[in-house]
Structure 1
C-alpha cells in the first residue's frame, strides 16, 4: 500500500472513530442494545487504529526533526546520534505500519459480511485441454486441500464427476473454518491456466490447458428464501464409489431451480436425504451469487478491478511448470516456487491480492 493511501485510510478511520464516539452516547442508541453493541465493538477496534495513528504521527514529526539535523547541523557527534536515532525511528514506523495495516484489514473484514463468512462453496471444473485439464483439476484440488489443512479449515466433498482416464471433470467442496474463509478464497474465482508437458506427450512439447474455479459464499436459509414449488427434484443412481448400495438405490439427487434454471447434482452420500440437503446448500449459494452479480452489473462504477468480482470467464492465473512460475495476471505478480505453491503455500499470493484490493 502506498504511504499516502495508507495515511488516508487512517484518517478515514479516525473520522469514523469520532463519529461513533458521539453516537454511542446518544440515548436512542443506548436504548437499542443490538445497535449499541455493534457500534461499541467497532469503536473498540477503531480506538486501537487511532492510537497507532497518533503514535505514527509523533514518530513522523521526530523523523522530520532528525532529517533537519542531518542536513543542517555541522556537529559530527550530533549527526551520529541523529543517524542512530533515525534507524530506530524508521524501524518503529515500519512496525506501526504493519500493525495498523493488520487492524485495517481486520476491520474491513468485519464490516464486510461476505468476506467475514466462515464458510464457502468451492467448485472446480475442467476446461480446454481434455484429459490434461481433468488432471489439473486434481492437482489444484490437492493444492487447496493442503491449504485448508494449513489454515485449520474442514471440507467435505459434495459432488464429483470423474475424468475419462484420471482426474476430475468437476468437483464441488463445502469448506468451513474460522471467520474469513470466503474473504480468502474469493480471489480464486476465475480461469486457471496450466502450461506443462503432459505425461502422454512423447515429443516433450508443452501443452496449455485450463480449468475454472468458482468460489461462492455459503449463505443461510434466511438470506435466500427458496420456495420448494420452484424446485424440480430428480433422483438417479450414483455413479460414484459406494459398493452395491449406490448401484441399487436412487440416492443421487439433481435439483433444478425453475425460475433461474440453475441445476445442482449431489451423489456423494448414501442417503438421498443427505444428498438433498447438500444440493439445497449449493443451490442457495448459486442463486445468491447470481443475484449478487446482477447487483454488481447495475453498480458497475464500484467494480474497480476484477480482483474479487468472481468473474469466472477471466483468466486470472497461469501455472508454468517448465519455468517453475505462477503468475497472477490481475496484479502482474509472479512467484518462482511452483512446487511449494502446489503444496498449499498460496497465502502469500492471497495476501498480495488483498493488498491490491484495498488500494
Structure 2
C-alpha cells in the first residue's frame, strides 16, 4: 500500500547508508545535500514505517481473535484491535495527505522572489510590506530565512528582494503564493487621500540541490562588476557583484548583497538551480495543460491571484473565492487561515481529480 511513499522510504534508507559512507562524508557539498534530502524525507519515512508496523500488528491481532479458545482472550484481543484500528485509520489519512501533496511535503527549503510591479514607489512599498508579512509568518512558524539579494529605493521600498526560507514543510505551505498581488490603499506618497492600486509579483520555487539540477561549467557565463546602490551610488569599490548567465536557457541571476565575490557567486548558483528546476517544471506543466487546467494557470507570476484592500480591511484570494476581513492581522504575518485554505483546497481537488492549484 502507498507505493510512492514506500519508494521514498527506500530512498531515505539509502541516504542513511550514504551518510555513513566515508567518501560522502569527505565531500562537504555532497554530505550537506544528502543531509538536506534525508531531513526532508524524515517525516514520511517515520510515518510509513509506523504504518507498516501497524499493518502487521492489526493482522496479528485479528489472527489471535480467530484462533482464541476462550471469550476472555477474544475480548482482550478485540479491545486491542479497536485501539490499533483507530491509530491505523488516522495514520492512513495522514499518508493519503502525503500522497496528494507529492514532493512538496518533503521540500523544506524554498527560494522566494518579490518584485515591485506597476505603481512606481507605492509598488515598491507594497513589495516591502509583502516581505515583512512573509518573514513575520516565517518567524511565527519557527522557520528561518536568509536574504539573498535586495534592491531598495530611496523611500525604503523594495524594487526586488530574493530570500531563502527553510523549515519543515515550508515549501508545501507557501507554494501557492506565486502570482500577482494587488493592493488598494491610500499610499504613503499620496497627499490628497486618494486610493491607489498597485501591484507586486511573488515567485516561490523549491530550493534545488546539485542532486536535483546538474549545471555544467561550460554552460555558464560569469561576469563580475561593482555593486551599486540606490541612486547609482557605489556600495563598494571592488568587483564583488556577480552575474551568472545560463547560456542554454538564457536565465540570468545577479547577486550583489555580499561584499565577497565568492559568497555572491554561491548565492547566485542557489537561485539559478531553483530557476532551472522551476523552468523544467513549467515545461512539464505546459505539456500537460491540455488535460489539466490549474487555477493558478501556468504559474505565470504576472497573473493576479490576490487583492489586499486596506480601506475595507479585506483580503481576497481570487483562485478559491476566499475573502477575509482581517487584513490588518494578515499583513502582520497572521497568514495561517489563508495558507491552510489554499492547502486544503488543493488537497480536496487532487483527491477528486479536479483542478488542483499546482
TM-score by length of 2: 0.71
2:257 to 244, 260, 268: 268
Offset, 1:252: 1.1
2:109 to 113, 119, 126: 119
Offset, 1:44: 3.6
Offset, 1:342: 0.6
1:130 to 113, 120, 127: 120
Distance 2:154 2:280 in 1: 34
2:237 to 248, 262, 265: 248
2:285 to 285, 296, 299: 296
Offset, 1:42: 3.1
List aligned pairs for 1:163-312, cutoff 5 A: 163-178=153-168, 180-240=169-229, 246-301=235-290, 303-307=292-296, 310-312=299-301
1:50-88 per-residue CA deviation (whole Å, 9 max, x = no partner) reads x9xxxxxxxxxxxxxxxxxxxxxxxxxxxxxxxxxxxxx
Offset, 1:41: 5.5
**Unmatched tracts of structure 2, length 5 or more:** 18-43, 58-87, 349-358
Offset, 1:124: 0.3
Specify whether residues 263 and 203 from structure 1 end up closer, same or farther in structure 2 by C-alpha distance, changes over 3 A only: same
Distance 1:98 1:197 in 2: 49
Distance 2:340 2:89 in 1: 16
The answer to which of 298-307 and 311-320 deviates more is 298-307
Specify whether residues 190 and 98 from structure 1 end up closer, same or farther in structure 2 by C-alpha distance, changes over 3 A only: farther
Count of residues in correspondence between the two structures: 286
Say if 1:240 and 1:268, in contact at 8 Å, map to a contact too: no
Specify whether residues 292 and 341 from structure 1 end up closer, same or farther in structure 2 by C-alpha distance, changes over 3 A only: same
Say if 2:51 and 2:92, in contact at 8 Å, map to a contact too: no
Q: Secondary structure at the match of 2:138?
A: helix
Report what 1:42 is aligned to. Answer: 48
Say if 1:317 and 1:327, in contact at 8 Å, map to a contact too: yes
Report what 2:343 is aligned to. Answer: 354
Specify whether residues 99 and 330 from structure 1 end up closer, same or farther in structure 2 by C-alpha distance, changes over 3 A only: farther
Say if 2:118 and 2:200, in contact at 8 Å, map to a contact too: yes
Are 1:314 and 2:300 counterparts?
Answer: no
Q: Which has the larger radius of gyration?
A: 1
TM-score by length of 1: 0.71
Are 1:332 and 2:332 counterparts?
Answer: no
Say if 1:116 and 1:181, in contact at 8 Å, map to a contact too: no
Offset, 1:113: 2.0
Q: Secondary structure at the match of 2:236?
A: helix
Specify whether residues 97 and 303 from structure 1 end up closer, same or farther in structure 2 by C-alpha distance, changes over 3 A only: farther
CA RMSD, 1 decimal:
3.4
Offset, 1:43: 6.4
1:321-352 per-residue CA deviation (whole Å, 9 max, x = no partner) reads 00000000000001100111011111111111
Say if 1:187 and 1:308, in contact at 8 Å, map to a contact too: no
Say if 1:253 and 1:267, in contact at 8 Å, map to a contact too: yes
The answer to which of 313-322 and 160-169 deviates more is 160-169
